[in-house]
Amino acid sequence: MRALNETHDRGLRSWVDSANSGATDFPLQNLPFGVFRREGRNEPFRGGVAIGDQILDLAAAHKAGVFAGEAAHGALACTGPTLNGFMAMGPAAWAALRLALSRALREGSPMQPKLTACLVPQAQAEHAVPAAIGDYTDFYASLHHATTVGRLFRPDNPLLPNYKWVPIGYHGRASSIGVSGQSFPRPAGQTLPRDAQTPVFGPSRRLDYELEVGIFVGVGNELGERVPLDAAEAHVFGLGLLNDWSARDIQGWEYQPLGPFLAKNFATTVSPWIVTLEALAPFRTEWTRPAGDPQPLPYLESAENRARGAFDVQLEAWLESAQMRAARSGPARLSRTSLRHAYWTVAQLVAHHTVNGCNLQPGDLLGTGTQSGPTPEEAGSLLELSDAGKRPVELGGGESRTFLQDGDAVILRGFCEKAGYARIGFGECRGTVRPAA
């Protein structure tokens, strides 16, 4: 697990003034990685690092010769249209480049004259998905979400017997993953109307969002090779925000016996920035399991995971309707929760995924599943907030929702705060629903 070092010092300030505001998601202590290009220009996507309201162009910085040694090799790996090559290099290379960036962007750095020309305003940039995602697996790692949703459909038996023993997951569709700003048509499929015996085909009427965290794999493992729990985080490059959009009415008809299909494969949205596990080190917390619950099997259990395996990442979901955009009134917050409530840790998800020898590859994406907290207002989906459509969620301005309407944009946000450390954030993960095709 990543240790604290000089890059976490709250007193560090950057010569990029906007990084010192205290309110930015991207202070010097963060330095998340993404892929970008200047908007409206016919130029290649390449790697960049967010600092304040700017992006440091890593291709330009490498060309300017500001890095040396392992950091230079890492920067070179970020000059292409995806971060996969850099992700594959492993924790030593990730840490070397992040340390070099921290020192180069600090107040008084002799690199400032060279790097100033390598900055691009975030407002003038467009993003791509930061990695070529070969495979996407979505887990179901929130006990509170699983219990609430299970109670809606199985009041007498909300949790199936296996839930507290095994991390539940399914393989999702990688080709429909898009970066923040993604818009997509309302999905269509078969649904079974209430009291009907025959399904009908048409647009989903119960479209929902899911507030999740995305886990980007860095170093892969060979086919047949297990990744032990205490080595799992060495295979994780970092975390981002993830919205696994869900058509609940389609899902309700199709999910037995093999699980979600058309209800999930039409769109998944990720944030443009990946926050490294090293940047998140100050915000680790203990992972606990209620005494009355089954304790993990040995391959999912360790003292280190118990002591520091969870992350206290604050997560929020917001909704901006077409009416709000027209009035410029700003979005309405739907819920706020924390990743620390997850029933399984990042390391446990990776260890379980590989325990049968499954080979993960650089750039693969794992979703945590909808993250909901222990109280109703911490729910990570409209399905929960509206009690499956029975209780509309008030948005203000005379608007309410049970499920998403055409023109709605859902905005996910994440950040970490702790006394003695700089606040760091994840930026936005925004997606918009268009009318059905």
Supply 23's token pair: 């309110």
Q: Which of 145, 235, 341, 352 is catalytic?
A: 145
Vertex 21: Cα angle to 20 and 25 (nearest 5): 90
Burial (Cβ within 10 Å: 0-12, 13-18, ≥19) of residue 434: exposed
Three-state DSSP class for 126? strand
Report the C-alpha gap between 403 and 209 in whole angstroms: 9
Three-state DSSP class for 361? coil
Inter-residue contact 248 to 206 (CB < 8 Å)? yes
What single string gives the DSSP state of each residue in 275-330? EETTTTGGGEE-----TTSPPPPGGG--HHHHHH-EE--EEEEEEE-HHHHHHT--
Report the C-alpha gap between 239 and 330 in whole angstroms: 27
Known active-site residue 127? no
> Among 267, 271, 269, which Cα is nearest to 185's?
267
Residues 340-379 as b/e (b if ≥16 CB within 10 A, e otherwise) read: bbbbbbbbbbbbbbbbeebebbbbbbbbbbbbbbeeeebb
Phi, psi (rounded to 5 degrees) for 274: -110, 120
What are the angstrom distances between the C-alpha of 223 and each of 37, 112, 126, 172, 360?
35, 45, 36, 20, 8
Burial (Cβ within 10 Å: 0-12, 13-18, ≥19) of residue 169: buried
Inter-residue contact 268 to 172 (CB < 8 Å)? yes
User: How many residues can be counted in the chain?
Assistant: 437
Q: Which residue has the tokens 């993830």?
A: 242
Vertex 287: Cα angle to 282 and 293 (nearest 5): 170
Inter-residue contact 121 to 53 (CB < 8 Å)? yes
Amino acid at 361: Q
| Active site residues per annotation | 145
